[in-house]
Chains A and B, each alone.
Chain A
Amino acid sequence: MTALLQLSGLTKHYALRRGALDALLGRPAPALRAVDDVTLDLGAGEIVAIVGESGSGKTTTGKLVTVQERPTAGSIRFEGREIAGLAGQALTDYRRHVQMIFQNPYEALDPRYTIARSVMEPLVIHGIGSAGEQRDAAHAMLEKVDLRPVSRFADAYPADLSGGQLQRVAIARALVLRPRLVVADEPVSMLDVSVRAGIMNLMLSLSGELGLASLYITHDLAVARAMSTRIAVMYLGAIVEEGPTETLVSRAAHPYTRLLVGAVPEHRPGMRRERVRLKGEAASLTAAPAGCRFAARCPRAQPVCLDTPPPRVAVAGGHWSACHFAAEVASG
């Protein structure tokens, strides 16, 4: 079976500004390695979460998949077809099948558009259906995201809606084209817990109902756990561990993942946990790491970690970690 989406060796470097002196001396402009050699598969109907801190490259990965950015190297295959170089009509067609949900619901909709018009817009862009059909489709979609009664919302403006309601509209807009893949970038991080749960449940049930695959980007492990069947953890542009959600959360095989799981503030009945004590400074995103990119902060780092990049070590079926000591880490 070929995966719906296959990323291999996906890389995105942003050229940084060169100082005047460097330019004079002919030194090359430094590059910010936002995404560095990312390989990841996503099956049809599957939800994979990408977890990482700010600056780890998760949003850039999402932008590459939705062709808001072009990769520096590597390939993106959708249903077996290379999309990295798509342009023109072929790109527009691809965009029909791959939609995006953004983080900030308060900016997600044009303030001058009514709710129904925003939801209809993708149909208008792709010239699908008559005006009447577009309107009906938008109303049906609003119904699906539980904005009921639809008549109350369809002609309202974004300013009249709460954050949770706006995010529901954004979901309706993303799904109105019936895409096969949705990239959701922190869709609930700006919402309150009570509202957040509603949006998460809605996304889960719609994915099931429409057979939708999702790339769910988040900094929050708890949210990733609730939403996904598989998790990929990113650190400084690279995936450092990938595995089935429950395994990764309970038996992480990478020291960074262990640290992340341990840092989640939570009420843990009858137990006081160690707080995180970070050492060192995070490695730079501009220099290619000589050894393990986590070595500077890793509590288990050994001399080998400083000069030899760790390979992908398979820990179990579908679970791997980019660590020289993956097996030891996994076993506790």
Chain B
Amino acid sequence: MSALLLAAIRSRAALGASVAVILLAAVLAVLAPYLPLADPDAMIAVPYSPPGAEHWLGTDNFGRDIFARIVWGTRLALTVAIVSSAIASLLGIVMGSIAGYFGGPVDAVLSRTFDVFLLIPSFFLVLLIVALFGSHIGYTMVAIALTTWPRSARIMRAQVLSLKSRVYVQAARAAGASHTHTLVRHIVPNGIAPIVTDATILMGLAILTEAGLSFLGLGDQNVVSWGRMIFEGQRQLRLAPWMSIFPGLSLLVLVAAFNLVGDGLNQALSPQLRRLAARATPRKPVAAEPGDSVTGTDAPMLEARGLTLAYALDGKMLRAVDGVSFSLPRGGSLGIVGESGCGKSSLGAALLQVMAPNATLESGDVSIDGRTVLRDGRVVQANGRDVIADMRWTSVSIIFQSAMNALNPVMTVGRQLAEAYRLHKPAATQAQVDGRIAEVFDLIGIPRSRLPAYPHELSGGMRQRVMIALSLLHSPGLVIADEPTTALDVLVQDQILGEIDDLRRRMRLSLILISHDMGAVAETCERVAVMYAGEIVEIAPTDVIFEGASHPYTQALLAALPTVTGPRRELVSIPGETASLVNPPAGCRFSPRCTRAQDVCRSTPPPRVALGPAHDALCHFPGPERAS
């Protein structure tokens, strides 16, 4: 079992225990007056009796029952926790919202105020208050709140700053909503979750502060406080260690419980953390067999058979790639298109075995450049190493969607390329490294003068070119590009796609271009595969896809596409929603949306029908669009 899983279980147990501790403390605090306890202030027993049947936790120097005092102390600890964190949170929500929402000078003044309050030590403030008004637990709580509220205010300010640019907030404003309406109805309710979470941590902090103050003799003398008990106990540490140990333990346990609950809430509220925690059990690798390596140029550049990838998701399986087969000749180019979520990126990641941690390759065979890298869904190894690991970057590389944001911001692009080069060629001389980098920069049209630039000094287009240069460093035979130009403007996109196209032709590179943009693929790829709900539903030479598509989904996609150069025509949308990958529809996955669907489509998965050279479709009734 993985260590992560164990840690998760452990933290769950700890979380459960913490909640139980807090509940118990709450029950004790509420019921303290009604429990059959000794009077916590009555000096009834023999002083310094050790723990025993009569006094479970012993008695103190005045002969008071320590157990009773701890229970009463719980009452005080929780009151302090709740009241001071409530004041602090409220103050924080109001001030933080105002600072974040109005910004500018208002924010500048308020933010300074937060800083000043954070700087005042609460002890000092209480000392001041005690000196002015005398010691009372109410003052202590106010003092604690006054020194902790800026913490909530800062959190709230950050929340409001991010929420106020949300579209629904802008929309409310544009509809004529007042500032108050916008703040009270939209921003604050959506922003307070982390304040509530943090309040649990504040509670722990408040209890600790109050105990500290009482320990220093600054607390209210009329209430039972753990802090004062510890203070009184530490003078008798030798004689009666129980006097300070038990209140100390109570303090520790309760504060720890509040902190753990705070952390737990934090995690529960953050979906990213939850997703990261999910992991798939890896399948056993298999050893390479003699037939796994075909040398020579007869083998296709890439061959995939029945490739299936599933994500583990909240106990369900989401099959993002389902039985995908295709092959790519050397120097060939294949576009993979389809709507978002149909599994294009997952397919690219599966081919190179660079998937998310919760993904499993359930089945399929993949060979790249004549070498088998996946057999029956199992990673092929040679000499104890994954075959694909040695091929990444040198034989095949991948350019990820929005990869341009993946460059290291604090390292010049030149150095990043040099490090990537040395990773696979550790023995290279400096001259070799520089020479190769200059070569790839020239190839993809980046001026060499940009080598000493940091990523933020480059435009989006230039950064994306750097990523392409990176992928070409070791002269791979195959490049998989996943939406390489999606975030860029049309002119830059066209230029970069043109450069990729040129390179491919000049260097006999094989290319897989993944894109949601049919047009981009049309002009860059010789063949196109159309994906729907994890399957390739049609694959054909590009001209055939655009002029003689046979699958109703391909036809529907094209009918929905607006054009600049073609005749202006009415666009037709595809009814319904994309199919679920967790529970795909029975029979043909496109059947709920297909205008050609018959009963057989809803009950029987369609066959893969060969329609021409290098053209097939997954459909019961493939063929040209019928006039209806």
Interface residues of A (CB under 8 A from B): 53-54, 66, 68, 91-92, 95-96, 99-100, 102-104, 107-112, 118, 121-122, 125-126, 162, 164, 170, 173, 177, 192-201, 219-223, 225-226, 246, 249, 259-261, 263-269, 273, 275-278
Say yes or no: A66 contacts B174, CB within 8 Å.
yes
Say yes or no: A110 contacts B186, CB within 8 Å.
yes
Say yes or no: B493 contacts A107, CB within 8 Å.
no
Say yes or no: A95 contacts B174, CB within 8 Å.
yes
A-B contact pairs, 21 of them (CB 8 A): A53-B490, A54-B489, A99-B174, A103-B167, A110-B185, A121-B172, A121-B177, A125-B175, A164-B577, A192-B339, A193-B516, A194-B556, A194-B574, A197-B571, A225-B562, A225-B563, A260-B490, A260-B491, A261-B564, A264-B565, A276-B494
A109 to B174, CA, bound (A): 13
Say yes or no: B176 contacts A96, CB within 8 Å.
yes
* B528 and chain A: residue at smallest CB distance: A267
Q: Which of B437-466 contact A (CB under 8 A)?
A: none
A253 to B64, CA, bound (A): 97
Q: Is B168 an interface residue (CB 8 A)?
A: yes
- Chain A residues near B559: list those with CB within 8 A: 197
Q: B514-534 interface mask toward A, CB cutoff 8 Å, 1 = contact, 0 = none?
A: 001111101100000000000
Q: Is B10 an interface residue (CB 8 A)?
A: no
Say yes or no: A266 contacts B571, CB within 8 Å.
no
Say yes or no: A192 contacts B489, CB within 8 Å.
no
- Chain B residues near A246: list those with CB within 8 A: 568
- Interface residues of B: mostly helix, strand, loop or mixed? helix
- Chain A residues near B308: list those with CB within 8 A: none
- Chain B residues near A277: list those with CB within 8 A: 495, 498
Say yes or no: B168 contacts A109, CB within 8 Å.
yes
Say yes or no: B498 contacts A275, CB within 8 Å.
yes
The residue that A125 contacts in the complex, of B177, B489, B518, with Cβ under 8 A, is B177
Say yes or no: A197 contacts B560, CB within 8 Å.
yes
Q: Is B572 an interface residue (CB 8 A)?
A: yes
A137 to B572, CA, bound (A): 29
Interface magnitude class on chain B:
35 or more
A99 to B556, CA, bound (A): 32
Q: Is B267 an interface residue (CB 8 A)?
A: no
* New contact pairs (11) apart from A199-B573, A200-B562, CB-CB < 8 Å: A95-B176, A99-B175, A109-B168, A177-B175, A259-B491, A265-B493, A265-B522, A265-B523, A267-B522, A275-B497, A275-B501
Q: Is B492 an interface residue (CB 8 A)?
A: yes
Say yes or no: B572 contacts A197, CB within 8 Å.
yes
Q: Which of B168-190 contact A (CB under 8 A)?
A: 168, 170-178, 181, 185-186, 189-190
Say yes or no: A266 contacts B173, CB within 8 Å.
no
A29 → chain B closest CB, angstroms: 15
A-B pairs with the 10 shortest C-beta distances?
A275-B498, A198-B573, A265-B519, A194-B574, A267-B522, A95-B176, A197-B573, A197-B571, A197-B560, A222-B562
Say yes or no: B171 contacts A108, CB within 8 Å.
yes
Q: Is B557 an interface residue (CB 8 A)?
A: yes
- Chain B residues near A95: list those with CB within 8 A: 174-176
Knowing A112-B189, A275-B498 are in contact, say whether A267-B564 is a contact too (CB < 8 A): no
- Chain A residues near B189: list those with CB within 8 A: 112
* A276 and chain B: residue at smallest CB distance: B494
- Chain A residues near B170: list those with CB within 8 A: 68, 100, 102
Q: Which of B116-174 contact A (CB under 8 A)?
A: 166-168, 170-174
- Chain B residues near A222: list those with CB within 8 A: 561-564
- Chain A residues near B174: list those with CB within 8 A: 66, 68, 95, 99-100
- Chain A residues near B497: list those with CB within 8 A: 265, 275
A269 to B558, CA, bound (A): 14
Q: Is B546 an interface residue (CB 8 A)?
A: yes
- Chain A residues near B561: list those with CB within 8 A: 193, 197, 222
A145 to B547, CA, bound (A): 33
Q: Is B340 an interface residue (CB 8 A)?
A: yes
The residue that B175 contacts in the complex, of A53, A121, A273, A275, with Cβ under 8 A, is A121
A108 to B172, CA, bound (A): 10
Name which of B497, B517, B522, B577 has the most chain A CB atoms within 10 A of its CB.
B577
* B342 and chain A: residue at smallest CB distance: A192
- Chain B residues near A264: list those with CB within 8 A: 490, 519, 564-565
* A277 and chain B: residue at smallest CB distance: B495
The residue that B517 contacts in the complex, of A53, A177, A265, with Cβ under 8 A, is A265
- Chain B residues near A273: list those with CB within 8 A: 523
Say yes or no: A225 contacts B175, CB within 8 Å.
no
* B165 and chain A: residue at smallest CB distance: A107
- Chain A residues near B570: list those with CB within 8 A: 201
A2 to B479, CA, bound (A): 57
A206 to B48, CA, bound (A): 86
A59 to B608, CA, bound (A): 47
Knowing A226-B571, A266-B566, A275-B494 are in contact, say whether A102-B175 is a contact too (CB < 8 A): no
Say yes or no: B564 contacts A266, CB within 8 Å.
yes
Say yes or no: A219 contacts B490, CB within 8 Å.
yes
* B495 and chain A: residue at smallest CB distance: A276
A192 to B571, CA, bound (A): 13
A96 to B175, CA, bound (A): 7
- Chain B residues near A103: list those with CB within 8 A: 167
A108 to B166, CA, bound (A): 7
B537 → chain A closest CB, angstroms: 13
Name which of A68, A220, A260, A266 has the most chain B CB atoms within 10 A of its CB.
A266
Say yes or no: A267 contacts B176, CB within 8 Å.
no
A223 to B490, CA, bound (A): 13
B189 → chain A closest CB, angstroms: 6
- Chain A residues near B498: list those with CB within 8 A: 275-277
A196 to B573, CA, bound (A): 7
Q: Is B97 an interface residue (CB 8 A)?
A: no
- Chain B residues near A265: list those with CB within 8 A: 493-494, 497, 517, 519-520, 522-523
A173 to B168, CA, bound (A): 11
- Chain A residues near B339: list those with CB within 8 A: 192-194
Say yes or no: B523 contacts A102, CB within 8 Å.
no
- Chain B residues near A220: list those with CB within 8 A: 490, 562
Q: B563-593 interface mask toward A, CB cutoff 8 Å, 1 = contact, 0 = none?
A: 1111010111110011000000000000000
Name which of A104, A199, A276 has the most chain B CB atoms within 10 A of its CB.
A276
A219 to B487, CA, bound (A): 12
B224 → chain A closest CB, angstroms: 42
A193 to B519, CA, bound (A): 12
B278 → chain A closest CB, angstroms: 20
The residue that B571 contacts in the complex, of A200, A263, A269, with Cβ under 8 A, is A200
Say yes or no: B171 contacts A100, CB within 8 Å.
yes
- Chain A residues near B522: list those with CB within 8 A: 265-267
Say yes or no: B568 contacts A226, CB within 8 Å.
yes
